Chains A and B, each alone.
Chain A
Amino acid sequence: MSRLWRRVRAAVGRWRRPIESGRRLDAELHSYLEHDIDARIAAGLPPAEARRTALAAFGGLHSVAEQVRGARAGAWLEAVAQDVRYAWRSLRRSPGSATAVAGSLAIGMAGIVAGLALVNGWLFRPLAGVVEPHRLAWVDIERGLCGAGCWAFLRVTPDDHGVVQAALADVAQVAAASTLQVSIGTAEPQSVRARLVSTNYFDVLGTRPALGRWFVPEEGEASRALVAVIAHDLWVRDFEGSPGAVGRTLKVADRFVRIVGVAPPGFTGTSRRAGAERPVLWMPLALSESLPAASGVFFTVRNVRLLARPRAGVERSRFEAAAQVAAARIGAASEPGESSVRATFSDLQGRDAALRTAVIMAVPLLVLAVGCLNAANLLLARGSERRRELVVRLALGAARSRIVRQQSIEGLMLATASVLAGLLLAWSGIRLAAANAVVETTFDGRVMLVAVAVAYLCGGVVGVLPALRATAPRALGGIGLGREGVSGSPVESRGRRTLVVVQIAASIGLLVFGMQMLAQVEAIGAAGTPGRRLLLASFDLAQLEYEPARADAFYEQLAAHVSRLPGVESVGLARRTAVWTFGQGVGPASLIVRPFSSQEGTRAIVGGYAGGALFDALGLRVVEGRGFVPADREGTPRVAVINRRLADMLAGPAVGQLLRVGSLVLGRPDAEATAIFERDAVDVRVVGIIESTHEPLYTRDDQPAPKVYVPAPLGPEPALTLYVRTRGDAEAAAPALRRVVRQIDSAVPIVELGSLDRVNERSFGPLPLLVRTAALLGLLALLLAAAGLYALVTYAVSMRTREFAVRLALGARPGRLVTLVLRQAMTLVAAGLAAGGVLSIGLTPLALDEISDGGLDVLALAESVALLVLAMFAASIHPALRAARVDPVANLKDA
């Protein structure tokens, strides 16, 4: 042990005083030599002869010193340190290419880091306070609709929860939960995401309260359900973290509920959503029975989902079998005709998380691949420029392994730089996106670890390969020849050409994929006002129990005030899902429409009351007939405006047709709903047709949805959304709008406020962000590929300078040389396009199929290809022109 310790101490000492240690060794070796010379002179040799023979016997001062250094402790480390210094110097000699290599890797790294952070936050973030989340499973009840293979989610009721719980009593604990958006009367009125849960919800999750208690079984009864558990954040923000908060009352919608507990910090139940989507309030599911009648949009108890925790030791198959029995029981109890009901299961810690990860990470991985290829390409170019240096060093006896090690260290140093730059890039990108994020990105040790590992792997590989290639015995034949002889062997340039082709193929793949996805997502709002210039502000006055007249007055005043705000162009009013349904289907904002002209019968069509200058605010032109005029607004609606899609569906000319329209009644038996329709429906005449809006990710058939609008409400409309078109950025008008609302009625909370883009982003989840990132990364990959081609063509031209000089001297026109170089560059581009194009055209529809039914967007495809060809042309034109400017005299003189 002490021997090791001494060696370490000696090594450290030398590290601290490298020069002194070097001098001491020199002095000792010289002393030996002098003694030897003295002895030889004493033996009778002449001094000069004595010195010569002594030196010969010694065997070379440097070589002995080297051997001594080699015997020292930590000699290996010292050599590496030397290599690092060497690599640093050689990188500093060509900062341009070093920056380009590190930059290529950094872009790839940034993509990987951002992707991993997203995956980590979205799919793998631990759920705070949830015990053994991997053992939890969602149990969904589905109903067979139309024979084999056609199933739909069955609306699960709180009663169904009871049935499932009873059936599974032996094998699992089952909780129920549903989501709703609700106003709460804190100091500043706010609208928050809340969960209605069964009283055993927290037990099933295994969570302990930070303060107070969870629900008790008795609170599962409607009469005793006016209790709530609040999130830790809400407790800190609105109750100053006071223990006295438990026991206080909180106004929720029009009720007062008693706070019984505070959830632990970070607890979000089973939600991994971020920001406003994160639940902050939990109340018993039984409360839904006594809540005010749904105002149609925000306050609906929808999608009760069942969450089960199988008891310890219960096999999955037994648990699933029991759930099927429960499903069958629900099926038997429901209306006749719903013959088949089954249970399906999905793990909370999603079984599909791996698949999703693969899908999300595919794009960053491709970009990283392009970045690495680019770095390898640039390093290969450097390698051939430095071949002469390497050949000389090998000839002087440097070990090949040593040279390869030095080159790898260069690669690793570049990788280090790229990791730092990539992390910085990703971090600032994430910070930028965080304001808008619907899911949390988690930037933790795991992400860093994977990123660093990937970077060093890449850096090491791209550093070693060119070094191996440059020092390969085959490459060494050419020393002493002209410039051509030392560099640019055919094998190597074939390698580099292949790299560029692969790069082009990968970047066209990324570009096509990104542009196709972008076309799908951006199609929203493609007709009409751009999504960033349309501000949506939603309200729900039913929760405040406002009389219809008071609600109407509020909206009228609000529209008038907001339209006078600076930067506002026009203001319309309609239900939140009357224009775009944001994935909520036709339920929340629809009219029952029965055309007189066809035998089709009634159907539910999205639309309803269109107040103010709605069409103007949406930017939807009236393509036929007219829009609404003030006279239309009086009393019961007598006219309607429909969109182009509905007009196409109606038989005969649409304008002038009569339609019978009535409110959609939810949650009543069909017969009753029909009776209500017959009693309350009104006949309206179509007076105008507006453009259709696309909502391609939600419609099942890539067609715009039919819409119908009437100039006045058919009944009370307590929950409306203000559609505000602004001159500039819509979000910038939000604070002013908030002030107006407070002025008019300080008790009214804004349920949702944001640009159409942002609302879309919330309802799509992280998809639009991902798609935009994919498109951006595709562009970056394109730039990298263009840089790679530029480097290759420049290099090829410089290698062939003499050939061009000869051609010019023999009378070739410069223009022909330009075409020659361009043709060769474009051959590579064509090869890349062919390889990448076939792949992406084949694969993109598969990916698109996952998110929508839209087909391949030909325009987007053409754009991607045109962009690529243009970029590649731009990259090769400069070196090609250089070929034509070769001076024959200067280049042939020294031949």
Chain B
Amino acid sequence: MPARRDVPQGTLDLLVLRILASGPQHGWGLMQRLGRLTDGVFQVTPGALFPALQRIEEYGWIEGTWGVSENRRKARFYAITPEGRKQLAAEARRWKAITGAVAKVLEGA
């Protein structure tokens, strides 16, 4: 199992948007998906996740509504908004450009 790391600066928003793009999730569910999708590489704590959700919701990229989870518990579900999708697309492009450039440099060196 690879060593666990903190999420790189600024990428948490992108990851959250990407996960929500495939369907609404509540906080705990998001955390599980995040862990699964990155094979447990990124360690996200509630202290990082919830402020990020707060911020992204204020930006209008996601929207939270109260609902009932699969455990039949009350939970706040977040869904991506059309504006959030646009943001996700833009961020993904930017991310690919950066990683592509970095990869090129690393290979060429």
Interface set of A (CB-CB < 8 Å, partner B): 2-3, 6-7, 10, 24, 27-29, 31-32, 34-36, 38-39, 58-59, 63-64, 67-68, 70-73
Q: A7-B58, A7-B59, A73-B58 are in contact. Are A38 and B46 (CB under 8 A)?
A: no
- A68 to B54, Cβ gap below 8 A? yes
Chain A proximity mask over B67-79: 1 for CB below 8 Å, otherwise 0: 0010101111000
Measured CA separation A27–B58 after assembly (Å): 19
B27 contacts across to A, CB distance below 8 A: 28, 31-32, 35
CB atoms of B51 and A71 under 8 A apart: yes
A35 and B28 contact, CB distance less than 8 A: yes
B10 within 8 A of partner (CB): no
Minimal Cβ-Cβ distance residue in A for B87: A3
With A3-B60, A35-B69 already in contact, the answer to whether A67 and B47 are too (CB < 8 A) is: yes
A72-B54 contact given A27-B74, A35-B75, CB 8 Å threshold: yes
Interface residues in B1-39 by Cβ distance below 8 A to A read: 26-29, 31-32
Instruction: Give the chain A neighbours of B47 by CB distance below 8 A.
Output: 59, 63-64, 67
| Chain B residue with Cβ nearest A30 | B74
Q: How far is the CA of A35 from the CA of B46 in the complex (A)?
A: 13
How many Å lie between the Cα of A10 and that of B74 in the bound state? 23
A325 to B31, CA, bound (A): 95
Q: Could you say which residues of chain B place their CB within 8 Å of the CB of A71?
A: 51-52, 54-55
Besides A34-B73, A58-B46, A72-B54, 15 new A-B residue pairs in contact (Cβ under 8 A), listed by A number = A3-B60, A6-B58, A7-B58, A10-B57, A28-B50, A29-B46, A32-B75, A35-B27, A35-B29, A59-B45, A59-B46, A59-B47, A67-B47, A67-B51, A68-B54
Known: A6-B59, A6-B60, A7-B58. A31 touches B46 (CB 8 A): no
Q: Is the CB of A3 within 8 A of B59?
A: yes
Which A-B residue pairs are the 9 nearest by beta carbons? A71-B51, A35-B28, A32-B27, A6-B60, A7-B58, A31-B75, A28-B76, A10-B58, A32-B28
Smallest CB-CB separation from B27: which chain A residue? A32
How many angstroms from the CA of A73 to the CA of B45 in the assembled complex? Answer: 21
Name the residue among B26, B29, B51, B71 with the largest chain A CB count within 10 angstroms.
B51
Q: What chain A residues lie within 8 Å of B76 (beta carbons)?
A: 24, 27-28, 31
What are 7 of the A-B contact pairs (CB < 8 Å)?
A6-B58, A28-B75, A31-B26, A32-B27, A34-B71, A34-B73, A72-B54
> Closest CB of chain A to B95's CB: distance in Å?
20
How many angstroms from the CA of A207 to the CA of B75 in the assembled complex? Answer: 77
Contacts A35-B26, A35-B28; A29 near B50 (Cβ below 8 A)? yes
Q: Are A64 and B46 in contact (CB under 8 A)?
A: yes
Which among B32, B58, B59, B75 has the highest number of chain A CB atoms within 10 Å? B58
Say how far B78's CB is from chain A's closest CB, in angstroms.
10
Chain B positions within 8 Å of A7 at CB level: 58-59
| Distance from B7 Cβ to chain A, minimum over Cβ atoms (Å) | 15
Kindly list chain B residues whose C-beta atoms are within 8 Å of the C-beta of A68: 50-51, 54
Q: Which of B53-109 contact A (CB under 8 A)?
A: 54-55, 57-60, 69, 71, 73-76
B51, A36: Cβ atoms closer than 8 Å? no
| CB closest chain-B residue, reference A3 | B59
Instruction: State in angstroms the CA–CA spacing of A636 and B61 once bound together.
Output: 109
Query: B residues near A, CB below 8 A?
Result: 26-29, 31-32, 45-48, 50-52, 54-55, 57-60, 69, 71, 73-76
Q: In the assembled complex, how far is the CB of residue B68 from the closest CB belonging to chain A, in whole angstroms?
A: 10
Query: Which B residues are CB-close (under 8 A) to A29?
Result: 46, 50
Return A293 CB to nearest CB of chain B, in Å: 89
- A31 and B51 form a contact (CB under 8 A): no
Complexed CA–CA distance, A32 and B77 (Å)? 11
Nearest Cβ on chain A to B29's Cβ, whole angstroms: 8
Distance to closest chain A CB from B88 (angstroms): 15
Q: Is the CB of A31 within 8 A of B74?
A: yes
The smallest beta-carbon distance between B81 and chain A, in angstroms, is 11
Known A28-B27, A59-B45, A63-B47; judge A38-B73 contact (CB<8 A): yes
How far, in whole Å, are A91 and B12 apart by their CA atoms in the complex?
44
Residues on the B chain within 8 Å of A73, using CB: 58
For A6, what are the chain B residues with a Cβ–Cβ distance below 8 Å? 58-60
Q: Name the residue of chain A whose CB is nearest to the CB of B73.
A: A34
Distance (whole angstroms) from the CB of A132 to the closest CB of chain B: 55
**Nearest CB in chain A: distance from B71 CB, A:** 5
Q: Is the CB of B59 within 8 A of A31?
A: no
Q: Which residues of A contact B54 (CB under 8 A)?
A: 68, 71-72
Chain A nearest Cβ from B52, distance in angstroms: 7
In the bound complex, residues from chain B placing their C-beta under 8 Å from that of A24 are 76
* CA distance in complex: A73, B51 (Å): 11
Closest chain B CB from A65 CB (angstroms): 8
Q: How far is the CA of A2 from the CA of B83 in the complex (A)?
A: 11
Expressed in whole angstroms, the Cα–Cα distance for A72 and B31 within the complex equals: 21
Selected contact of B73 from candidates A31, A64, A70, CB within 8 Å: A31
Considering only CB atoms, which chain A residue lies closest to B32 in the complex?
A39
Instruction: Give the complex CA separation of A2 and B55 in angstroms.
Output: 14
Bound Cα distance A70, B75 (Å): 22
Contacts of A38 in B (CB 8 A): 71, 73
Could you tell me if A35 and B71 are in contact, using CB atoms closer than 8 angstroms? Answer: yes
Contacts of A72 in B (CB 8 A): 54-55, 58
Which of the listed residues A31, A38, A59, A72 has the most CB atoms from chain B within 10 Å of its own CB?
A31
Closest A-chain residue to B28, C-beta based?
A35
B72 vs chain A, min Cβ distance (A): 10
Question: How distant is the Cα of A442 from the Cα of B77 in the complex, in angstroms?
Answer: 63
A6 and B74 CA atoms in complex are apart in Å by 26
- Report how far A375 CA is from B95 CA in the complex, Å: 58
B38 to chain A, nearest CB (A): 17
* Closest Cβ–Cβ distance, residue A646 to chain B (whole Å): 91
Q: Which residues of chain A have C-beta atoms less than 8 A from B52's C-beta?
A: 71
Closest to B29 in A: A35
Q: Chain B CB within 10 Å — which of A3, A6, A67 has the most?
A: A67
Residues of B within 8 A of A31 (CB): 26-28, 69, 73-76
When chains A and B are docked, how far (Å) is the Cα of A10 from the Cα of B57? 9
B28 with A36: CB separation less than 8 A: yes
Chain B residues near A58 (CB-CB < 8 A) = 46
User: Which chain B residue lies CB-closest to A5?
Assistant: B60
Set of chain A residues within 8 Å of B75, measured between Cβ atoms: 28, 31-32, 35
B32 partner residues in chain A, CB cutoff 8 A: 39
A32 touches B46 (CB 8 A): yes
Least CB distance from B100 to A in Å reads 28
List the B side residues contacting A63 at CB < 8 Å: 47
Q: Which of B28, B52, B69, B74 has the most CB of A within 10 A?
A: B28
A4 CB, nearest partner CB in chain B, Å: 9
Chain A residues near B50 (CB, 8 Å)?
28-29, 32, 64, 67-68
In the complex, residue of chain A having the shortest beta-carbon distance to the beta carbon of B71: A38
CA distance A68 to B76 in the complex (A): 15
Q: Which of A2, A35, A39, A70 contacts B60 (CB 8 A)?
A: A2
Complexed CA–CA distance, A38 and B74 (Å): 13
Chain A residues closer than 8 Å to B45, beta-carbon distance: 59
Assembled-state Cα–Cα distance A6/B51 (Å): 16
Q: Which chain B residue has the least Cβ–Cβ distance from A27?
A: B74
Chain B residues, Cβ within 8 Å of A28: 27, 50, 75-76
Most chain A beta carbons < 10 A, residue from B26, B50, B57, B73: B50
In the assembled complex, the Cα of A3 lies from the Cα of B46 at a distance in Å of 24
Smallest Cβ distance from A30 to chain B, in angstroms? 9
Residue picked from A36, A39, A71, A72, most chain B C-beta under 10 Å: A71
A7 CA / B56 CA spacing, docked (Å):
10
What CA separation (Å) do A200 and B45 show in the bound complex? 85
Report the minimal beta-carbon distance from A414 to chain B, rounded to whole angstroms: 35
Bound form: Cα–Cα A6–B71 in Å: 33
Closest beta carbon of chain B to A267's beta carbon, Å: 59
Closest beta carbon of chain A to B19's beta carbon, Å: 15
Q: How far is the CA of A38 from the CA of B69 in the complex (A)?
A: 12
Residue numbers in B under 8 Å from A32 (CB-CB): 26-28, 31, 46, 50, 75
Interface centre among B26, B46, B60 (most CB of A within 10 A): B46
Residue of A nearest to B45 (CB): A59
| Bound CA–CA A59/B46 (angstroms) | 8
Q: Which residues on the A side are within 8 Å of B57 (C-beta)?
A: 10
